[in-house]
Structures are given as structure tokens and as C-alpha cells.
Amino acid sequence: RDSDCSACQPGYYCVPGSIFPIPCPKGHYCPGFIGRSGGLIPCPIGTFNERMLAPDPSWCEPCREGYYCPLEGMPSSHRFPSPPGYYSTKGQSFPLPCPAGTWSPHTNGTASNVSSCEACPVGYYCGPQQSEYLNYT
């Protein structure tokens, strides 16, 4: 019966039938609930949370520049660096392509804005999302 259940404290979630609260894992927040409602909520797409025991969604931070967070419940923003030919601004859920006429060789989270995309050299072709330039002759 729900009347026999005690409150699950913020920063923890409770599984029906369990007698102990479970610490809220990274990538989630747990506002605490009474009864059978559980309380384990993943951080939204475009955010991450590196800390345990998060009691509310303010602990979900925007994904860092140069990286994107395409999944709910991400425990780190360093899992998905922008690939060559793309860049990612803060809070991105997917990388943005470099515009046509530019290219980007950057990897490992170093492409953080459109200025990371370099102008295509004269005499070469750079389509959108280019990680290298092509000889146009």
C-alpha cells in the first residue's frame, strides 16, 4: 500500500518493492517522490550531468563547446566530439556542418563554432561538411 511507503528523498530514486533508496546516477536527476512513482529522470538531449545525487534538472548542464550530446541521460559531454567537417556550440544535440566553401580538419572537441571552419584555398573545392579540400583542376 502507498500509505506504507515513505518519501524517496531528492538525489535518490526508489524502486517499487525495495526498502532502500538508490543514489541518483550520473546523467540523471532524482527529485524524490512518494510511493510508487520512482523518480529517476534522464537529463535531456543536449545536456549532461557528471555528478551523482542530482536532486533537480538544474544539475543537467549544456553540452560543452566542441562536443554534442545526442542522447538522454549522458554522464559526460566528452563522449561525442565534433567530427572533421563539423563544429558544435554549447548545448548542441548534434554537430553542425561547416558551410560550403569552408572545411575543418579539427577533431577531439576543438571545433566549437563556425569560425573553426576555414576558408577553402583558392583553386580547391570545399562542399558542405568537408574535412579536407579537393583539387578543383
What burial class does residue 117 get, using C-beta atoms within 10 Å of its C-beta: 0-12 exposed, 13-18 middle, 19+ buried? buried
Which has the higher per-residue pLDDT, 102 or 59? 59
What burial class does residue 22 get, using C-beta atoms within 10 Å of its C-beta: 0-12 exposed, 13-18 middle, 19+ buried? middle
Reported as a single tens digit per residue, the pLDDT across 70-80 is: 999 999 999 99
Rounded to 5, what percent of the chain is helix, strand, coil? 5, 20, 75
**Percent of residues, the chain, with pLDDT higher than 70:** 85
What cell numbers appear for 30 in the block?
Answer: 532524482
pTM here?
A: 0.82
pLDDT for 36 beyond 70: no
Q: How many CA atoms lie within 13 A of 96 on its CB side?
A: 18
The pLDDT-based confidence of 34 (bands split at 50, 70, 90) is low
SS3 114: helix
What cell numbers appear for 1 in the block?
Answer: 500500500
Domain range list for the chain = 1-62, 83-137
Reported as a single tens digit per residue, the pLDDT across 89-100 is: 999 999 999 888
